[in-house]
Structure 1
Amino acid sequence: MKIVKHSGAIVDFNRAKLKQSLLKSGAASAVVDDILQLIEKDIHDGISTKHIFKTAFRLLKKTSNSNAARYNLREAIRLLGPSGFFFEKFIARLFTSEHYETKVNLILRGKCVSHEIDVLVKNNNGIAMVECKFHVGKDVATDVKVPMYILSRFNDLKEAKHEIFSRSDTISKCWIVTNNRFTSDAVDFAKCSGLNLLSWDYPKTDNLKTKISNRQLYPITCLTTLTLSEKEKLLILDIILVREIVNNSNDLERIGLSPNRIKNVMKEALELCRLM
């Protein structure tokens, strides 16, 4: 059976891959098998992966909101756009979870010119600049021109002293983070130049997807019991992670949710962060 990807490419339907993604949501094997049977009844040549995904999400949601939220993780990251500002805040939260000090959106003077930096992080190994490349389109890849450009900025900044975490800091490392993927040339150039990369699927064993899942760093946009408008209101209040409403449900009152809605949202949030 041939299906059509977001990019327009035509590929064979991969039942095993779909099953694995459903199992990773936390759904029980019996539930996954039932969903697969229903999807396979609907599949025909030329069906889109988008349609298959929406069907799987809808069927998962009938059994568990939190499992549907995990399954929808990549779309939830995309909903941190379109500008990428909230994605930058999300990445800062990710580094914080790894015991870094963080600052976002600073303008620093390099040896030659000034640069606006998305995120700056500090641990015992020094200070790093983190540049975030956010893409709304699902199939847009960050190509080699991006690390080439960022390397030149990094080289300009590391030659100067900065007031970041103290009065006289130096930047010794550079990260590039994207919500999609890097081209092979971008990866090769970064490796050769000593730049650190993080994307949805790179590196293989500690990528953005696995970091989020392993640490329960789910963005607030994951939650299926909130409307898009409600998610945007929480983001504006600087509520970026689901765990932040687990620790303070008052923010749900602030955006006008009823006690019954708050109960439903909190149930999903606790299940998603595996606190129930």
Structure 2
Amino acid sequence: MDSLRTHASAGWVLAQRNIGIQIRDHALGYGWTFLVPALYAVGFVYLKREFMADATASDGNPRWELVAAFCGVMLVQFWLALVQDMADVVGRNRALMRGLSMGPAPFIFAVALEGLVSLGIRMVLILVVLLLLGHALPAQPASWLAMAAGLVALQITAYGLGLFLAPWSALYPDIRKALQSLALPLILVTPIFYAQVTDPQRVLYWVHLMNPLSAPFASVNAGLQSLPASVPLLSLASWSLLGLAVMVWSALQLRWQVPVLLERIGD
């Protein structure tokens, strides 16, 4: 327990350092967290309305489409950034790891804590946009629980995939490049700009089922609208459990992999 508290404390110090670097090195700091999803959302709704301009009827609520698009892009970017940061936990901190005898645990805690801060900022921005566009905050506890379940699943799967890729990312920089190129494909295969497919006869149904982002976003989306959670609960639970198992296994493996990795990647 004392060791866990020490790792968490060291992780918080490292997280504060990383947050300070993020704010200091970028003119907008965490403003980019809002700007990019907002551009995606406005561009999507504008283009969709333009494409439908000649249609006899226009379905959907453009204000809600803005909220859903903004929220979806925000969460996809958060998930991918968390995967990238966790995958780079060895490569980015190799100099510090050589001088510490605590192993990778403090750095894993730092990424997790920084991720919580980032997620908190994103959720506040999503709720602010929700209010600015004339929607009420969810009133039912079940809606908040649905959102919480989706956000927890989102983090667990990101931690699991990131830690699984960490040794490979330290050895092969191409892993990091590949992760950076996944942003747009992930946005397109996650039901953000269109309704989730429910027909098993369609390939996209299985793509959504195998996408770790689809069920969490559906859960958050339903919660924001105060709708009965039409969420694939089995998919949400399965991805959460799988992510947790991979996260624990990968973290334990990383403890003895770090010395070998540090020796192989050099300075």
Into which bin does the TM-score normalised by the smaller protein fall?
Answer: under 0.3
More strand by share: 1
What's the TM-score once normalised by structure 2's chain length? 0.27
What's the TM-score once normalised by structure 1's chain length? 0.26
More helix by share: 2
